[in-house]
Amino acid sequence: MAATGYSRLHAFLFRHWWLTFLLLGISFLLFGALSLNLLHTLSANFEFLSMYGVDAVREGALKQLAEIVISGYGAAAAYLISKLCEKVLVERLTAANTNPPDTHQ
């Protein structure tokens, strides 16, 4: 079953466009910072683990792998926040009126 109404978060962001714009910029920069060289670091970590095995684990390669995965999820979350803000701002800019969409179903 698909939801037809908007969430309270959407309505809040729609009403506070300046905060939405600020959040868009912050989340976009955070996404860029977290995803910078992520694939290169991940492949280097896998290569280190496969080449040195147990010695790599002793040196902290598994901890580093966990940090890389967490960084990836953080980047994905920042991307989703930026896309939500983008959607809200585009809807606000293209709306005929500036009232938030109906949040009740």
Is residue 103 a part of any domain in this protein?
A: no
Domain assignment of residue 41, given as a range: 19-92
What mean pLDDT value characterizes the chain? Answer: 88
pTM for the model: 0.77
Instruction: Identify which of 30, 23, 1 has the alpha carbon closest to the alpha carbon of residue 88.
Output: 23
Cα distances (Å, whole numbers) of residue 95 to 7, 10, 16, 28, 41: 18, 14, 15, 24, 43
Is residue 29 a part of any domain in this protein?
A: yes
**Percent above pLDDT 70 for the chain:** 87
Is residue 4 a part of any domain in this protein?
A: no
* The pLDDT value given to residue 102: 61
Number of domains in the chain: 1
**For 25-74, how does the pLDDT look when each residue is reduced to its tens digit (9 = 90+)?**
999 999 999 898 898 999 999 999 999 999 999 999 999 999 999 999 99
Is residue 99 a part of any domain in this protein?
A: no
User: With 60 as the cut, is the pLDDT of residue 2 above it?
Assistant: no
